[in-house]
Amino acid sequence: MMGTFAEAMALYEEEHEFARSILLPEEDRQILSPIPWQGGYRWFRSPNVICLEKARRLRALGRI
């Protein structure tokens, strides 16, 4: 189990750096794609937005 939520999120973001490099952030995807989000990986450019799916996944993995 990680020490803090911030540490767990930083590690998660580091592990998914490649996915962020090839996928549009959610803010842009909503504008450019008519297809609604149907699950899977997504990320937000805004630093103050935390995707609840990430938090739930980290909790399920026992990292927080």
pLDDT of 1 > 80? The answer is no
Q: What pTM value is reported for the model? A: 0.61
pLDDT digits (tens, 9 = 90+) for 4-53: 888 888 888 899 899 889 988 988 988 998 888 888 788 888 878 877 88
pLDDT digits (tens, 9 = 90+) for 38-47: 887 888 888 7
The SS3 assignment for 23 reads coil
Taking 3-state DSSP, the helix, strand and coil percentages for the chain, each rounded to the nearest 5, stand at 50, 0, 50
Residue with token string 């020490």 = 3
User: Residue 40 and residue 56: Cα distance in Å, rounded?
Assistant: 13
pLDDT value, residue 36: 85
